[in-house]
Structure 1
Amino acid sequence: MKMNLTDLEIRVLGSLMEKELTTPENYPLSLNSLMSACNQKSNRDPVLSLTESEVQKVLEGLGARGLARLTTTGGRVAKYVHSAADKLGLGVAARAILAELMLRGAQTAGELRNRAERMAPFADIEAVDAVLGELMRETPPMVVRLPRQPGRKEVRYAQVFGGMPELPEEVEEAEDVEPARERALPYKLPMTGRLLKLENEIADLRAETAALRREVEEFLAQFG
């Protein structure tokens, strides 16, 4: 069994995990409620327009992986729950962080604290860092720290249930931020010095990216 989830599977799983924590009184979710959760315009990037049949098909795929299931509640309407907590051993804080990353993509620790607090309390940024550290220390990791973008102060984190996230072109990113970096330098480097600095940064980014890809491959391999 492979964990290499599709974008739609990640959206459905993230929505189930989110609603379990934000609206426990309405959880488990009916198919219609889950469709609405996947398509809501707030706290989603990108915004989608899935149909009930599409969500049903995705649930079947998640069920085959042991990540979601139909629950027997005694009611007439079929309802669904995720199984990530049991299958992957995830606590509330970890589920909140992962759900946020699944629903909105890569984010900084500060963004995660502000956005995930609706699902789980985080006393401070250190609490978020601690959860991210635990998820990255899993064998293999469920979250990776992305290479720092040139000119950006904070690093971003991403979940890897769908494989290695797409990274921006290093050269283009470096060229875009060059004017800002020049203003930040205490003196202006000669042209050759600036080019060498950019080349070194690009080489570092490529090395970090290669290391992250190896970690993701190890993560996916355990489900092969």
Structure 2
Amino acid sequence: MPFDPHTAPLTAEEARVLATLVEKSRTVPDSYPLTLNSLASGCNQKTSRDPVMQLSDGQIQEALDNLRRRSLVTEIGGTRTSRWEHNFPRGVGVPDQSAALLCLLILRGPQTAGELRINSERWHRFADISSVEAFLDELQSRSEEKGGPLVVLLPRAPGAREQRWTHLLCGPVDIAALAAASSSSAAPAPTRDNAMAERITTLEAEVASLRHALAQICEQLGIEIESNTAGN
């Protein structure tokens, strides 16, 4: 049966576990398949994650058990400890390139095609943005017989140059809320820039005032000063 996010969506925990397995299989192949401890570190890392999560070993194990029942992960028994590997492309029914894009969207939140191309460098090297868009379009137009679309293009956020994509592996999304959140996270934080601009304006005003006072004192003392000292 094809993977259908509408009738059997992944939970947020299952999606994070599955995408982390895919990520580590590509970025640290020497450490893959992963132990439960390694998987927990990957799921809960603070970088390259949106949102940042703090999953317990129990939550991760429950997610692994559920994913195994859906043939999306496989447990490999060892002499000392079990390790886990994903079956994402075959289980979801997508090529490796699409799997990389889907997992990046799971781990990092909504992104533009350009951001996905940059972030996928260690996963899969796409020739250009057009090739990324081609795979995204294919995921968006996925037929109902195959389980329906796996991504959706969000409306362009105010002030944004490009639209962002998000995944549907956890079921339908609130497009308006995601678009708003994507807009606020994409917009540069103005606080520091505004504070710097205000500080510069204040300093310039103080310098002008000091130059004016200096010019008055020099005039009273009959001292002539150069124009570049008194100010423009």
TM-score over 0.5 for the alignment?
A: yes
Runs of 4+ in 1 over 4 A off after TM superposition: none
Q: Is the counterpart of residue 136 in structure 1 residue 140 in structure 2?
A: yes
Q: CA offset at residue 34 of structure 1? A: 0.5
1:71/1:80 contact within 8 Å kept: yes
- In structure 2, the residue matched to 1:127 is 131
Instruction: Please point out which of 5, 8, 16 is paired with 1:11.
Output: 16
Distance apart, 1:68 and its partner CA? 1.5
Shift of 1:144: 1.2
Q: Could you tell which deviates more after superposition, 85-94 or 115-124?
A: 85-94
SS of the equivalent of 2:176 reads: coil
The CA distance in 1 between the partners of 2:61 and 2:129, in whole Å, is: 37
Selected match of 1:36 from 37, 41, 45? 41
Shift of 1:169: 5.5
Letter in 2 for 1:7: A
Alignment CA distance shift 1:129-1:169 (3 Å):
closer
- 1:68-98 CA-to-partner distances (Å, cap 9, x unmatched) read 22124x4421011112222223322112111
Instruction: Note if 1:95 corresponds to 2:137.
Output: no
What value does the CA root-mean-square deviation take over the aligned residues? 2.2
Matches within 5 A, 1:1-224: 2-72=7-77, 74-139=78-143, 140-168=148-176
Correspondence for 1:199: none
Q: Which SS does the other structure have where 1:85 is aligned?
A: helix
Q: What is the aligned-residue identity percentage?
A: 42
- Which letter does structure 2 place at the counterpart of 1:89? G
Q: Which runs of 5+ in 1 are unaligned?
A: 177-224
CA offset digits 1:99-139 (Å, max 9, x no partner)? 10010111111111111111111121112112112212222
Count of residue correspondences: 172
Q: Distance in 1 between matches of 2:177 and 2:101?
A: 27
Residues 12 and 38 in structure 1, CA contact (< 8 A), matched pair in contact too: yes
Contact 1:3–1:65 at 8 Å: present in 2 too? no
What is the rounded CA distance, in whole Å, between the counterparts of 1:53 and 1:37 in structure 2?
A: 15
Please give the alpha-carbon distance, in whole angstroms, between the structure 2 residues aligned to 1:125 and 1:169. 26
Q: Do the aligned partners of residues 76 and 104 (structure 1) sit closer, same or farther apart at CA in structure 2, a change above 3 Å counting?
A: same
Partner SS, residue 20 of structure 2 = helix
More off after superposition, 89-98 vs 152-161: 89-98
> If the length of structure 2 is used for normalisation, what is the TM-score?
0.68
